[in-house]
Amino acid sequence: MKKTLFYTLSLSALVLTACGNADGENNDNDNNNNLNDNNNEDTAGYDPEGEEIELTYVAWESELASTNVIGQVLEEAGYDVELTVVEQSPMWSSVANQEADGFVGGWLPSDMQAEYDEYGDDIVDLGPNLEGNRTGLAVPDYMDIESIDELSSDVVDEIIGIDAGAGIMMSTEEVVDVYDLDIDVTPSSDSAMTAALDSAINSEEPVVVTAWQPHWKFNAYDIRFLEDPEEVYAAEEEIRTIVREGLEEDHPVAYQILDNFYWDQEDMNEIMLAVAEDEEEIEDAAADWIEENRDMVDEWLDVEE
């Protein structure tokens, strides 16, 4: 499924390594030369209007937020941006094969380590755009259980997961083996997993789900990670920006914007909550966040020609 963004923006754009060196000024609508409007003398005269950039992403709510944000920011800089939904492995292979330009959803070091090992020599790793994220198993606070090694079929009969090919699912299968659990791991999707969690909490029934942070469900429900004494899940991860080889030469401004992209969990959660609880469209939630965080966005847009 492909979704193409062709927004005409004034003060709108949207999400992750180090920020630029100078703040831009808030400006009126001038999509054709927004970099100059942001008071950046280094890019005076540069206009990437009509240049095409394709970003791929996995349809997790966290990556819907980040990809829509950075997609709108690139649109603001003058690019025509195409956002393409794919599975986890094709997200990596499309960039490694230079069929797409990049993505901002590289969960590392553990969750997507298999893809990084396979395609790492054929991509450009721009480093983290968000740090301190985490994966694991989560339960509602009302459950009298603290650790994965307390799980059994007497507690629940399944762990509700997400996409079968996701790294967290492979880690969870390993958890079942390492802890010798007599329960199944059930693949589903991000939305289906959250719906099952919501239903169980409303009935105050026991439930165990695959979980990652940032995710809006930690703000919406009283849930917590289970302890992982065997350390199967990484204690702390980061989300990295990955681009194709040659992007810096072909689209130097887009490359620098993607390199500048960096935010934190509160930023991402703000967008996800707007979609999940306020029922905003993801494009609108991303645009609102950009407008409310103009200084940060201007730092991403602060590039050299």
| Spatial contact of 169 and 249, defined as CB atoms under 8 Å apart | no
Given this model, what pLDDT does residue 28 score?
40
Measured at the CA of 217, the angle between CA 227 and CA 198, to 5 degrees, comes to: 100
Reported as type and span, the H/E element at residue 212 is strand 209-213
Strand partners, 124: 243
| Spatial contact of 246 and 96, defined as CB atoms under 8 Å apart | no
Residue 232 exposure: Cα atoms within 13 Å on the Cβ side: 22
Residue 8 predicted with pLDDT over 80: no
Q: Of 165 and 182, which is predicted with more confidence? A: 182
Taking only the tens place, the pLDDT of each residue in 11-31 is 333 333 333 333 443 344 344
CATH fold match for the domains 2-133+237-300 and 134-225 = yes
Structure tokens at 188: 């589903």
| Spatial contact of 274 and 280, defined as CB atoms under 8 Å apart | yes
Structure tokens at 293: 């965080």
Residue type for position 151:
L
| Spatial contact of 208 and 151, defined as CB atoms under 8 Å apart | yes
Given this model, what pLDDT does residue 46 score?
58
Q: Report the distance separating Cα 4 and Cα 81, nearest Å.
A: 7
The pTM score is 0.74
Given this model, what pLDDT does residue 191 score?
87
Q: Mean pLDDT over residues 253-274, rounded?
A: 96
φ/ψ (deg, to 5) at 24: -90, 170
Given this model, what pLDDT does residue 74 score?
98
Given this model, what pLDDT does residue 36 score?
38
Cα distances (Å, whole numbers) of residue 17 to 43, 48, 288: 21, 23, 22
Q: Report the distance separating Cα 6 and Cα 71, nearest Å.
A: 10
Q: Mean pLDDT over residues 172-183, rounded?
A: 96
Measured at the CA of 186, the angle between CA 171 and CA 179, to 5 degrees, comes to: 45
Contacts with 117 (C-beta within 8 Å, 6 or more apart), sequence order: none
With H, G, I as helix, E, B as strand and everything else as coil, classify residue 242: strand
With H, G, I as helix, E, B as strand and everything else as coil, classify residue 168: helix
Query: What is the band of 276 on the pLDDT scale with cuts at 50, 70, 90?
Result: confident
CB neighbour class for 231 (10 Å; exposed up to 12, middle 13-18, buried from 19): exposed
| Spatial contact of 294 and 48, defined as CB atoms under 8 Å apart | no
Superfamily grouping for domain 134-225: Glycine betaine-binding periplasmic protein; domain 2 (3.40.190.100)
Name which of 44-48, 177-181, 262-266, 290-294 the model is least confident about: 44-48
Q: Of 44 and 189, which is predicted with more confidence? A: 189
Residue 6 predicted with pLDDT over 70: no
Please report the DSSP string for 252-287 in residue order.
HHHHHHHHH----HHHHHHHHHHHHTS---HHHHHH
Name which of 150-154, 189-193, 282-286 the model is least confident about: 189-193
Each domain of the chain, given as residue ranges in start order, spans 2-133+237-300, 134-225
Given this model, what pLDDT does residue 44 score?
47
Residue 66 predicted with pLDDT over 60: yes
The CATH number of domain 2-133+237-300 is 3.40.190.10 = yes
* Bridge-based pairing state of the strands 52-57 and 184-186: unpaired
Cα distances (Å, whole numbers) of residue 188 to 151, 191, 265, 302: 20, 8, 24, 41
